[in-house]
A and B are shown apart, each in its own frame.
Chain A
Amino acid sequence: VITRRLLTLAMTCAVLAAAVGGSSVQSSVLQHERLRIRNTFKTPEEVVSYYCARDASGFVWSGLLDAERTAFTSWEDAPQVDSFYIAKTYEVHPSEKVGHDVNHAAVQVRYELNGIGDAHGTRSPPPQPDYSVTFDLQKINGAWKIVKPDYAQISPVVVEAKFPYASPSQ
C-alpha cells in the first residue's frame, strides 16, 4: 500500500510539474500518446508536450489527422517529410512569455539525437548530437496553438524507444 501511495504521489508530482511548467517533462512513457481532437490544455508547454509525445511515436511522420492539426496548431497543412531525426531523449522546457503579449509564448524543446533516418532503418549521423526547437505559440480562441515553426519548416523527431521502426535492427 505504501509503495502504491508513493508511486501515486510521484506521478501526481510529475503531472503537476508539467502543468505548471516548473520543470521539464521527460519522455519516458512507452505507450503512444493518445489522440486528442480537443485542445483543453491550459499551458503552452502542455500543448508542446502533447505534440512532442505524438511526434516521438511517429504520428507526425505518419501524418497528423486534420482534427488534431487544427486543434493544436495554426498550420494550413501537416508536415509531410519522409525521414526524421531519431532522438534518445528530449526535454520540454518551461514556457517563456514573448514580449508583453500574454497571448504569445515560446517553448523550447531540446533533443539528444542519435541520428537521422527513415522507417526502412536507414540511418545517418546527425549534424550535431544536440538539437533544439523553439515553438512559438499563440492563444487563439482561448486555446494555445503552435504557430511556429510552420509545418513546412519542422522535421519529425521520433524517439527510438517509442518508434522501433527507426532502428536498423528492425
Chain B
Amino acid sequence: MKKRLLPRQADLALLLSITALICTGGERPSPCSAGMEARYPTHLGGKSSIGRAEVSSLDFTAICVKQFDNDGNSYYQDSDNKIYAITSLTKSAEDAKAQVAAQTARENADSLPPSTARLVATGTPSTNPRAGQHSACSSIGISDADIDTFPAPRKETASRPDNLPTRALASAGSEAPKSAQGASARAASSNSTERPDPILSSNPPSPPGSTLSQVNSNTTSTINLASDLGDIATGNELIEAAKQSRLTIQRSAESDNQTLAEPLRKLSVDELQSALAQAKTKINQDVDVISGASSTSLESSDRARFLNYIRNAQDKVDLALDAIHDDKSRENQLGANSPFTGVFGMKDGNPLAKLASLADIFGSKLPTSAAATTQDSLTNRMVMLSALPPQDRAQVLPHLKLVERLKLTLPDGTKTEMPLLHNGYVLGGGETSVDCSSLVSALLPADVRKGRLTTIDLKSIAVLLRTGKLPKGVNYKPAREKMIKEMAWAFISRDIYHGENPITGDLLLYRTEEPDGHVMIVQSYNPFTKRAEIIEAAQSAGTIRERVVDLSLDPMTWKDRIFIPGLWVLRLKSASTRACTYKEHTRLPASQRKKGGAS
C-alpha cells in the first residue's frame, strides 16, 4: 500500500542520502558505490551527469562517463571533462547501415567538420575546476582550451576528430538519411546505452596513436555500436509489435462480437430468457469441467483467471434472468412494438440488452476499439456463445477469431476439448516455447502478464542474473523454477541505481517486498528528469496505455533526484533482430530456433 510505502521510501531515500553524502564528501548525494566513479562535475548547462564509469575509445582507450546535453543527446566525457564523441542511436538495422554509410562518406572527406569548429568557437565558459590540465585529448586534435569552451553538443552536429576513422560513432549528422534522422530523434532521448566492453576490460590497450590501437578501438567501437543498435532495434520492434498486435486483437474482438451477436438479434425477450437459461446451464457445466479437470492445457494462473471470467459470465446471466423476471413482474417489458427495439436491432446494438435493465448488465452497444477487449466484453461474448443453441454454436465457432480449443483431462481420465473465448493471446503453459519478442509482448497486457511471467518472476530473473541465485525466501514449484532459470538467459539485468539507464524496449519493473509489482516497457528515458515514457497495460481500457512515470519522488527542482527503491531493469537480448545475432541464439538446436529459441 502506498500509504505504508511512502514513509518507507522516504526512509530509504534518507539512508541513501546519508550514504551518498559520506561518499561524496558533503556534495549533493549521488548514487555511488564502491568501485564506481564518483559523479563528475559538469559544465554543460549545469545538468546532472550520470555517475557511471564507461569505456569509450577513439585512438586510445579512456574511462569515460556517458553524459547528456540539454537535448538529451549523449556524449562521452573523461575524468578531466574532456569530450570525446557524440553518439546517437538509430531505430533499426537499416537505419544503422545508412548511418554507417553516411559516416564512412564523411571519413573519406578527411577534414574536420565545419560544425565542430563553429561549436568550439562559440562555446560557453566553463566552470570546470580542472580547466587547463593537459590530457590525452590534445592527441586527437582537441586542445584543452577548446575543451573548456566546448559547448553542449547538439543533435544536429557531429563533433569528432577529423583524422580518425569513426565508423562506430555514427551520428545523426546532416549527411545521414532522413529516415535515420527521424528514427534517431526518438532514440536520442533514451540513448544511454552503457555497455561494459569485454574486449577492452580483458585486454590492455595498445599505446595511444599506434595502428594496432586504432584497429582495436575501431573494432571495439563497432561491436559496441552494433550491440547498442541491436538493443534499440529490439526495443523498437517490441513496442511496435505490441501496439500492432493489440490493434489486431481489437479488430478480432470486434469481429467476434458481431459474429456472436448476429444470431441473437432476432430473438424476442422471451426467447432471450430461454437462451439465457440455456446459457446458465452451459456455463455451469463449463465451470465444473474446468475446475474439476485434473489437468488442462492452461497453466495454473490462466486457469484461475479464466475460471473467474467464466464465473463473472455466470453471474451476469443470473443477474440478467433476475432482471427479466423483475421486469416481467412489473410489466415493464419492452415488447415487439417498443421504440427501443429498433435500437437493439442496430448493427452496433447489443442483442443481450433487449431491456433497459439488461443494458445495465451487458451494455447497450457492442463495444468497439479498445473496449472490445475488456473483460466486460469477453464475458458478454461468453454469454452470447453459451446462449446459442448447440447447432448454431457449432456453426459460429469456426468464424470466431479469439477462441482456443482448451484441452482438458477429466478426473476419470477422459480427455476432452472445450472452446474457450479469450481476449487475444495464444494460450499455453510455460513449457510452450516462445521467442523473446512474443515473450515480452505477452508481458504487456495485464491479463497476459498474470498468465506468464509475473513481477515476482521478473525480479527473480534480475536477481538471478546479478547474483547467480534466485532471491531468498521465494519458494517456486520445481518446474516453474526451472522455467525461470531457462528464461533468464534471454535478458540482461541493468542496475538503474548505478547509472545503467533504461533504453527503448527495456522492461522497467517496480517491485518491493509487497505485492504491488508493476512492469512497463520503456519507450524513452530522460536521465535529467528521471522520467520515463512507458507503455503499459490499461486494464479498464483493455489495451495499452502510454504515459510518463517519474522514477524519483524528489522535487523536480532538486539537482540530483534519487530513484525510488524497488526499480529493476531487464533488457531483452537482441537475439532475434535483424541487427545482430548472438552466438547463444545460433548455438541453439534448429528445432528450438524455429520456435523462437528463447527457452
Interface residues of A (CB under 8 A from B): 32, 34-38, 57-59, 61-63, 65-67, 69, 76-85, 116-125, 127, 133-134, 149-150, 152-156, 163, 165, 168, 170
For A36, A66, A125, the residue with the greatest tally of chain B CB atoms inside 10 Å of its CB is: A66
Contacts of A153 in B (CB 8 A): 1-3, 516
Q: Do A80 and B515 form a contact, CB below 8 Å, given A122-B454, A133-B1?
A: no
Residue B308 is within 8 A (CB to CB) of chain A in the complex? yes
Complex CA gap A82/B299 in Å reads 15
> Do the beta carbons of B515 and A81 come within 8 Å of each other?
yes
Contacts of A85 in B (CB 8 A): 515
Q: Do A123 and B319 form a contact, CB below 8 Å, given A62-B305, A80-B446, A116-B515?
A: no
> Do the beta carbons of B319 and A119 come within 8 Å of each other?
no
Contact with A along B336-371 (1 / 0, CB 8 A): 000000000000000000000000110000000000
SS of B interface (majority) = helix
Q: Which residue of B lies closest to A71 (CB)?
A: B360
Residue B457 is within 8 A (CB to CB) of chain A in the complex? yes
> Do the beta carbons of B300 and A121 come within 8 Å of each other?
yes
Contacts of B572 in A (CB 8 A): none
Interface residues of B (CB under 8 A from A): 1-3, 299-301, 303-305, 308-309, 311-312, 315-316, 318-319, 360-361, 374-376, 379, 446-447, 449-450, 454-457, 473-477, 480, 513-518, 537-541
For A35, A57, A116, A127, the residue with the greatest tally of chain B CB atoms inside 10 Å of its CB is: A35
SS of A interface (majority) = loop
Complex CA gap A123/B476 in Å reads 7
Contacts across chains A and B counted by CB atoms under 8 Å: 141
Contacts of B308 in A (CB 8 A): 57-59, 62
Chain B nearest CB: distance from A141 CB in Å?
Answer: 15
Q: Do A82 and B376 form a contact, CB below 8 Å, given A32-B311, A155-B1, A165-B304?
A: no
Contact for B299 among A77, A120, A134, CB less than 8 A: A120
Q: Do A83 and B540 form a contact, CB below 8 Å, given A63-B447, A120-B480, A165-B300?
A: no
For B318, B449, B475, the residue with the greatest tally of chain A CB atoms inside 10 Å of its CB is: B475
Q: Do A38 and B360 form a contact, CB below 8 Å, given A63-B446, A82-B454, A120-B477?
A: yes
For A65, A153, A155, the residue with the greatest tally of chain B CB atoms inside 10 Å of its CB is: A65
**15 cross-chain CB contacts under 8 A:** A35-B312, A62-B375, A65-B376, A66-B376, A67-B376, A77-B539, A77-B540, A78-B539, A80-B446, A83-B454, A119-B300, A149-B2, A155-B516, A163-B304, A165-B303
